Each structure stands twice: as C-alpha cells, then as structure tokens.
C-alpha cells in the first residue's frame, strides 16, 4: 500500500477498503507512516466522511492496534460512561463514584484534554499524588476493593487512538463523526465493559454543533457497540453554555466535590443523576425511576463522596483534599471580569469560554504542552442572570501566565451577550438513543 494513494482516494471521495484502513492504522502505530501523512488522511476524512462500514472497520482497526483487556479478576458487571467533550464537563468525577457506591463496578479509562474541552485525567492529576498509570493488576485490585478506578489510557491499549487523538487536537480535525466515533468506540471496545452510556454534547461548546449531528454520532456509536455485544445508551445533551460554574482542572474537581456533597449547580447535578441512573439501568439494577431515586439518595447521604475519597487514596492521592478542597493550591494571579453594561445575559459562546480557559493555561495548544492545574474560570453570572454595569461576571485564574489575563478577559466578554430580555429556559437533556 502506498499512503499517497490512500490519501488521494479519500480526498477524491473514494471509499477505503478494510485492507487500506488496517494498513494505515498498523503503519502509523509502527512509525512507518509519518504524522504529516496521517494528518492529511484525517483532513480528507474530515471533508469527505466515511460510510458505516468504513467507520466500523476504522473502529475495529483502532481496537486491534494494541492489547485488548479482559478483566476476569473484577467481580460483577462493569459499566462505563463517556462524554464527547464539553466546557466545564466534570460529570465523570461525580457519576462514577455514585454508580460504584450502588454496587456497580466502574473500571474507567479516560483521556486528556482535547481542543477547548477538558480531560478527566488532567483533572484528577490536579490532586497531589494521584496516579493514573496503574498496572492491570493494580487497576483490578482497586476496582474490586473500592468499586471504582479511573486511569489514563494504557500505552498498549488502542495505541492508534492515542496517536490520532493527539494529532487531531492540533490539526483542526477533531469534529468529524467517523473520527470521533472510531476514537471513542475503538478504545471502549478494547476494554472489557458490559455496558456503556454515552453523553453526546451538542451546541456552541461541543464538537457537534447541531442536534442532528449529535444524533448521527450517537446512533453511529450505539450501533457499533451493539454489534460488538455491548449494552448501549446515549444521551444528547445541551452544550450551548458551560456545564456548572467552574472551568479548569482544580476548579472542576472542587465543583465535583461540592456536587457530591449535594450543593452543586442544578444543571451539573441534573445531568450527573441522569447519567448515573442510565448506567444502573444497563447494569440491571431496575427501571429508570428506581435507579434515579437510588442515585439521589447516595448524593444526599455522602456515599458517592466517600467512594471518590477511597479511590483517590487507593490511587496514591491525598484523600484529605476531597474532604477539604481548600488544600488545592491557589493560583497566584487572578482577574475579575466585569459587565460592560447592565442587562441580562441572554447567550454565551461556550467554546469561547473554553478558549479563554485555554489561554490561561488550563488546556493545550500543542500535544506536548504542560497544563496549569490552577488555571481556569469561575462563573459568577450565567445565562439568564441579571447583571449591573461593572458587576463581576467571572473570575479568571492562572498560576503560570499572568500576561494572559487581559486576553482571556477580552475573549470571555466577546463570548458573552448581554441584552434586555431573559432568554427562555433550555432543555438540558435533548434526546435519548437506546
């Protein structure tokens, strides 16, 4: 196979064969195909797309690019949850402990930040000492003991996805349905979960800007999982505004802790409860209403927070930070962003908010860039809130880029529309695909 011919074929709208897809993935992982050719093919796929069979073959090639895990040592059903990425989305830190507290194992492999969205691994590594590089044996032991472990993607698990994930992040080829679906499902199928709940975001802060695109992606992934024998469900959720009030790694962990204490933002709590309940349904714990009631009970009684602390301790982190978030290091520099005039916040560009946090150091512009765990944004005013001229609408934080505060403030204000009338309430969960 000559990579030039494969790129040209897809660029011109052709359909790639199973052999061409397998040769590309195998060659890229082995280092025979350079980044620039892989990026060219990703861009061709971005513009030309893939049909269902091509997407499935790409998914299976990614799955088979490394080892596949079989957690025979973990007792009971295992259910996972995955989000397609959004701004302020820290639901995994809430959902996974809640589900584990109700007797369902969560052996979760998570990714790092991608574009303007954050990654669960980056958030957890903001906790002092927390390890995400466990061996399979450690992983299984912790899941059996606490019900939950969250680790980074193993180097040997779907290595093609890890390589493509980083490449897409810096080549503007993230928001492509075949590439997103194969990336997510490739590594999910390489793990040994019985069921998967997908949170497919749509709106200004999501990779899928329209609900129709989000539904197409959800249906594609649910069908891939179903064909592989997995129990599947997907929620289409709104990302036209950030989820919760915190954007940035330490700030989001702290907000997740507040939510597990029962005092988190309403939208974050609502979505976390819905995702956890769907996971319990897939695990056979009852109908949706009963599962939702059980989740809310463990949100109120602190059982979810207890499991999070146990996981943090088991993975080498300082569990005191979970019970006392003031222990998280504070950013050395901050800036208050003030409303330029009075009115009502009628809309925001969630991606613009994510970009502002990236400017502060909370995300990556290149695949090797370090993250500032203390950087981010705390929103004091959100869509629908009334503001007075000069009132603080957000606080920006950075521990490494004081020179970036003004640029981030300008970006946040440019992404905030202040008008005269309160906007209508938006539905958070737009659809369910089963």
Q: Which of 65, 183, 357, 415 is labelled catalytic?
A: 183
Q: Which of 10, 63, 81, 82 is labelled catalytic?
A: 82
Q: Which of 90, 105, 123, 187 is labelled catalytic?
A: 187
Q: Which of 23, 161, 238, 240 is labelled catalytic?
A: 161
Q: Which of 168, 278, 364, 411 is labelled catalytic?
A: 168
101 is catalytic: no
Three-state SS string over the chain comes to CCHHHHHHHHHCCCCCCHHHHHHHHHHHHHCCCCHHHHHHHHHHHHHHCCCHHHHHHHHHHHHCCCECCCCCCCCCCEEEEEECCCCCCCCHHHHHHHHHHCCCEEEEEECCCECCECCHHHHHCCCCCCCCCCCHHHHHHHHHHHCEEEEECCCCECHHHHHHHHHHHCCCCCCCHHHHHHHHHHHHHHCCCCEEEEEEEECCCCCCCCHHHHHHHHHHHHHHHHHCCCEEEEEEEECCCCCCCEECHHHHHHHHHHHHCCCCCHHHHHHHHHHHHHHHHHCCCCCHHHHHHHHHHHHHCCHHHHHHHHHHHHCCCCCHHHHCHHHCCCCCEEEEEECCCCEEEEEECHHHHHHHHHHHCCCCCCCCCCCCCCCEEEECCCCCCEECCCCEEEEEEECCCHHHHHHHHHHHHHCEEEECCCCCCCCCEEEEEC
183 is catalytic: yes
82 is catalytic: yes
187 is catalytic: yes
2 is catalytic: no
Q: Which residues are annotated as catalytic?
A: 82, 161, 168, 183, 187
């Amino acid at each position: 196979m000559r990579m030039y011919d494969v790129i040209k074929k897809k660029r011109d709208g052709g359909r790639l064969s199973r052999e061409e897809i397998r040769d590309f993935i195998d060659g890229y992982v082995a280092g025979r195909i350079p980044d620039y050719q892989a990026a060219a093919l990703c861009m061709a796929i971005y513009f030309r797309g893939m049909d269902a069979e091509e997407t499935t073959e790409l998914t299976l090639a990614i799955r088979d690019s490394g080892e596949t895990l079989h957690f025979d040592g973990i007792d009971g059903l295992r259910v996972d949850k995955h989000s397609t990425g959004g701004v302020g989305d820290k639901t995994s830190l809430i959902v996974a402990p809640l589900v584990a507290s109700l007797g369902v194992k969560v052996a979760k492999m998570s990714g790092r930040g991608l574009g303007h969205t954050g990654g669960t691994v980056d958030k957890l590594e903001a906790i002092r000492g927390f390890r995400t590089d466990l061996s399979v044996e450690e992983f299984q032991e912790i899941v059996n003991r606490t019900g939950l472990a969250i680790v980074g993607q193993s180097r040997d698990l779907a290595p093609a996805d890890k390589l493509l994930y980083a490449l897409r992040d810096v080549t503007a080829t993230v928001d492509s349905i075949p590439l997103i679906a194969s990336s997510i499902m490739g590594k999910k199928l390489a793990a040994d979960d019985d069921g998967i709940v997908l949170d497919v975001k749509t709106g200004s802060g999501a990779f899928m800007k329209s609900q129709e695109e989000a539904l197409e992606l959800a249906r594609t992934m649910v069908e891939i999982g179903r064909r592989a024998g997995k129990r599947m469900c997907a929620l289409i959720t709104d990302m036209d505004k950030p989820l919760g009030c915190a954007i940035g790694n330490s700030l989001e962990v702290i907000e997740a802790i507040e939510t597990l204490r029962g005092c988190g933002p309403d939208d974050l709590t609502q979505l976390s409860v819905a995702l956890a309940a769907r996971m319990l349904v897939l695990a056979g714990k009852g109908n949706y209403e009963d599962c939702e009631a059980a989740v809310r009970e463990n949100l109120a009684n602190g059982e979810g927070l207890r499991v999070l602390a146990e996981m943090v301790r088991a993975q080498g982190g300082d569990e005191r930070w979970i019970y006392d978030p003031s222990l998280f290091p504070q950013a050395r520099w901050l800036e208050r962003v003030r409303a330029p005039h009075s009115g009502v916040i009628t809309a925001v560009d969630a991606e613009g908010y994510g970009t502002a946090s990236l400017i502060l150091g909370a995300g990556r512009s290149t695949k090797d860039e370090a993250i500032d765990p203390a950087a981010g944004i705390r929103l004091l005013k959100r869509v629908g809130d009334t503001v007075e001229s000069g009132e603080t609408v957000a606080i920006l934080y950075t521990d490494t880029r004081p020179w970036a505060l003004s640029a981030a403030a300008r970006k946040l204000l440019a992404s905030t529309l202040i008008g005269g009338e309160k906007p209508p309430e938006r539905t958070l969960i737009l659809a369910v695909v089963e």
